[in-house]
Amino acid sequence: MSRLESMRRRLTAQIDGINWAAGQIEELEGDVLELGLGNGRTYDHLREVLPGKRIWVIDREMNAHPSCVPPAENFLQGDADRMLMQMARSGTKLALVHYELGIGVAEKDAAKSRAMSPLIAPLMVPGGLVISQDPLEGFERIAGPETVAADRYLFYRV
């Protein structure tokens, strides 16, 4: 599979995965967290499918497309571990986390996502979802939408 085809597969998995997760958590109390703003593509999709939810965003940099810059009060700029601890101290509760802090190097990305897991867990409401292309620990892995291959995107319930 070429990198271009792999990218198409990832984008499709993200769209289908976010759409599916949004339907699952709509009725849950709790906010949403975009962990890794980047260009803002997945943030833009989250806000489109979950217009009633507050969407927090963490990134150490602001490199989003101008149309995808989150409101200042929802953007936590800094290292993810420090920002997640800050959210826990302020009592934020999350129904959905979309995790994308990776750089596309599988081993490094997996080590990072595993290390972030215990910082995400205390923020989640019961029944909340974490979705990611990198593996997390301490959550129950569940099946996502049928259109997404099991190894392409990972779905976890709290």
Ligand X SMILES: C[S@@+](CC[C@H](N)C(=O)[O-])C[C@H]1O[C@@H](n2cnc3c(N)ncnc32)[C@H](O)[C@@H]1O
Residues 100-119 that bind ligand X (CB under 6 A): 100-102
CB 145 within 8 A of CB 17: yes
Q: In Å, what is the CA distance from 38 to each residue of 63, 78, 89, 137?
A: 6, 13, 25, 23
Using the contact rule CB under 6 A, the part of the chain among 2-10, 97-105, 119-127, 149-157 near ligand X is 97-105
Quick one: which of 17, 22, 32, 40 contacts ligand X (CB under 6 A)? 40
In this structure, the number of other CB atoms found within 10 A of the CB of residue 69 comes to: 14
Residue 79 C-beta: closest distance to ligand X, Å: 4
User: 63 or 126: whose CB is closer to ligand X?
Assistant: 63
Residue 126 C-beta: closest distance to ligand X, Å: 26
For position 158 contacting ligand X by CB under 6 A, the verdict is no
Residue 115 C-beta: closest distance to ligand X, Å: 9
How far is the C-alpha of 110 from the C-alpha of 158, rounded, in Å? Answer: 19
Chain-centroid distance of CA 49 in Å reads 14
